Amino acid sequence: MSNSPLAKYKRLSKKYSSGRTYNHKTYKIDRITPHCIVGQWTGKQAADYFATTDRNASCNYAIGKNGDIALVVEEKNRSWCSSSGANDARAVTIECASDTTHPYAFTQKCFTALVDLCVDICERNGKKKLLWIPNRTKAIVYSPKPDEMVLTVHRWFASKACPGDWLMQRMNILADTVTQRLNKQKIEPKKEKVEDDEVVDKTKVLFNGKEFEVTRIMKDGVNYVKLRDLDDVLGIVDVDYDNDKKLPIIKSK
């Protein structure tokens, strides 16, 4: 069983179980479990941490904020990562750099490296399809076909937010992108599927001591106001659109 050539840094943790066994049963790799580190670390920082921590924790790979990949536990061995020995015996576990607060977002470089690493893991293990089954019960009992790899997540095995809502909202994109690359398919641009957490309402704003009513869009704890409201209600800017340049035009009055 080989390790990924994408890992350019290697510092092995001593916190692992030899072989891919659990409860006296040996497993083959048919799962990938991405995690969030809860810190915008480099891969080296993560590997150094797992090599020196007193915690009984490790992972097979760590991906840094800049997309660098480190080997922490060789693929032939079971890491201690997902609060489930049964899952870790079957899974390649990957800790990914993330923000420290909800929704624990990854950088684009980290996510791109995660896709690359998943493709490599699947190829070396003879898999042609990476599956995301959102239903926990169905995913855990699913028996993959010989050419299939299944994504699992830490929150299914413990009361944790890991891998964070940012990645949970992109698991289908991860699975689809990896599968397309494994089968050499052309990857079409695809909109990210996110939870419908937008709230649109009317609110009042004070401008130069006067109240004006505008449309407010609330998303991820941030308030947004439409530019055209500034034009129509406040009368302080002209808003238009340049069809040739495909850009909004904003002019002060």
CATH number at 47 reads 3.40.80.10
**123 & 228 share domain:** no
**97 & 221 share domain:** no
Taking residues 159-165, what's their average pLDDT?
A: 97
Residue 80, domain member (yes or no) = yes
Question: For residue range 77-86, what is the model confidence (pLDDT) as tens digits?
Answer: 999 999 999 9
Domain boundary among 131, 150, 182: 182
CB 29 within 8 A of CB 20: yes
Domain boundary among 148, 182, 216: 182
Distance CA 13, CA 21 (A): 18
CB 95 within 8 A of CB 61: yes
- State the pLDDT at residue 159: 96
pLDDT-derived band at 193, boundaries 50, 70, 90: very low
Closest CA to 199 of 211, 183, 215, 181: 215
Give the mean pLDDT of the chain: 88
Closest CA to 149 of 32, 58, 244, 21: 32
**Cα distances (Å, whole numbers) of residue 135 to 86, 138, 151:** 18, 5, 11
Q: Is 134 left (phi over 0), alpha (psi -120 to 50) or beta?
A: alpha
Closest CA to 59 of 74, 69, 45, 44: 74
**203 & 94 share domain:** no
Residue 3, domain member (yes or no) = no
- 248 class by beta-carbon count within 10 Å (0-12 exposed, 13-18 middle, 19+ buried): exposed
**DSSP alpha helix (H) spans, the chain:** 43-52, 85-90, 108-124, 136-141, 165-168, 171-182, 227-229
Residue 23, domain member (yes or no) = yes
- State the pLDDT at residue 213: 74
**243 & 131 share domain:** no
Closest CA to 79 of 130, 19, 8, 120: 19
Residue 116, domain member (yes or no) = yes
Closest CA to 115 of 41, 32, 43, 22: 32
Tokens 């490599």, residue? 120
Other Cβ atoms less than 10 A from the Cβ of 167: the count is 24
Domain count, the chain: 2
- State the pLDDT at residue 191: 44
Q: Residue 140 phi/psi, 5° resolution? A: -70, -35
Question: For residue range 206-245, what is the model confidence (pLDDT) as tens digits?
Answer: 666 677 777 777 766 676 776 666 666 566 666 666 667 7
**71 & 145 share domain:** yes
Q: Which range marks the domain in which residue 154 is found?
A: 9-182
**233 & 134 share domain:** no
Task: Read off the pTM.
Answer: 0.74
**172 & 219 share domain:** no
Residue 15, domain member (yes or no) = yes
Domain boundary among 156, 182, 208: 182
- State the pLDDT at residue 246: 66
Residue 41, domain member (yes or no) = yes
**178 & 53 share domain:** yes
**44 & 155 share domain:** yes
